[in-house]
């Protein structure tokens, strides 16, 4: 039996993971902005489920809740799952939308990890699953700020994983492709500027609005893979989930590698003589 701390547990992947983990007998500390969505789980698993009503962007409250959870028992896996998408060309976005996207997807994830690290170190190790996205390695028009948060958290995790490896703390970045979680319906959307109508940004906006953005990922199978990553003896640093994620990330990495190799002579010429 393991103990898990999961953010964003009232919907999507977080809710699916919570249901599955409780079903197999594990303990779950689940944060949610809408605790009522988990009422049925409380009735069935109240002895193994603690629901924590939490606004993740409230850093003080976040730290207090993490401290309280670890004080109650050892926590084996922390799942940083909460987040949302922001749709709009960069200049269409409002300052408030930008601030909210960064505060929720990036800053809150950083602060959750920072809050958990001292406890994981004290207990002799543990694992953090950071939910990123295929959008942490590829980019699409109209998602610039979403990508900024996902590329940002991936860089943060890469550095911190090296810092805390000596303490037995492991990280895995979860990179799902488009998955049927309701992500599209929950998008925060900027007001459209007509100047972008005939551009790639406009094409993406229309594809989403018309339901032409292909979603291949299955929520339940993705949640199963995330749990498997939490259970793995030797976890991978990154786990791409869904054929779209794999294909898109592979194509982008190969393109970037080819571009890099073509610049080898230029790069070496910049060294001191």
What is the pLDDT of the chain when averaged over all its residues?
94
The DSSP code for 102 is I
Residue of higher predicted confidence among 244 and 179: 244
CATH of the domain at 226: 3.40.50.720
Residue 164 tokens, joined: 């805390």
Domain count within the chain: 1
Q: What is the tens place of the pLDDT at every residue in 51-80?
A: 998 999 999 999 999 999 999 999 999 999
pTM: 0.94
Q: What is the pLDDT of residue 36?
A: 80
Q: How far apart are CA 109 and CA 7, in angstroms?
A: 9
Of residues 231, 126, 122, 123, the one with CA closest to residue 169: 126
The single-letter DSSP state of residue 67 is: H
Q: What is the span of the domain harbouring residue 173? A: 3-269
Residues marked active site are found at 132, 146, 150
90-133 tens-digit pLDDT: 999 999 999 999 999 999 999 999 999 999 999 999 999 999 99
131-161 burial string, b = 16+ CB within 10 Å, else e?
bbbbbbbbebebbbbbbbbbbbbbebbeebb
**Cα–Cα distances in Å, from 63 out to 58, 112, 128, 138, 256?**
9, 7, 16, 32, 38
């Amino acid at each position: 039996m393991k103990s898990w701390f999961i953010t964003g547990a009232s919907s999507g992947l977080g809710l699916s993971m919570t249901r599955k983990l409780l079903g197999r007998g594990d303990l779950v500390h689940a944060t949610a902005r809408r605790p009522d969505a988990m009422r049925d789980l409380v009735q069935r698993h109240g002895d193994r489920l603690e629901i924590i009503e939490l606004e993740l962007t409230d850093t003080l409250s976040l730290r207090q809740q993490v401290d309280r959870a670890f004080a109650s028992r050892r926590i084996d896996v922390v799942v940083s799952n909460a987040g949302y998408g922001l749709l709009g060309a960069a200049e269409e976005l409002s300052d408030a939308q930008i601030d909210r996207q960064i505060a929720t997807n990036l800053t809150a994830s950083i602060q959750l990890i920072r809050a958990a690290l001292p406890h994981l170190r004290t207990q002799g190790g543990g694992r953090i699953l950071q939910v990123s996205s295929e959008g942490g390695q590829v980019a699409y028009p109209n998602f610039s700020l979403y990508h900024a948060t996902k590329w940002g958290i991936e860089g943060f995790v890469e550095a911190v994983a090296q810092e805390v490896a000596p303490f037995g703390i492991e990280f895995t970045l979860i990179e799902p492709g488009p998955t049927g979680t309701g992500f599209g319906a929950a998008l925060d959307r900027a007001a459209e500027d007509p100047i972008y109508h005939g551009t790639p940004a406009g094409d993406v906006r229309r594809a989403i609005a018309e339901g032409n953005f292909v979603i291949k990922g299955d929520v339940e199978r993705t949640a199963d893979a995330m749990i498997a990553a939490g259970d793995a003896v030797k976890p991978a640093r990154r786990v791409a989930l869904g054929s779209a994620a794999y294909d898109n990330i592979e194509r982008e990495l190969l393109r970037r590698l080819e571009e890099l190799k073509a610049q080898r002579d230029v790069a070496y010429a910049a060294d001191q003589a």
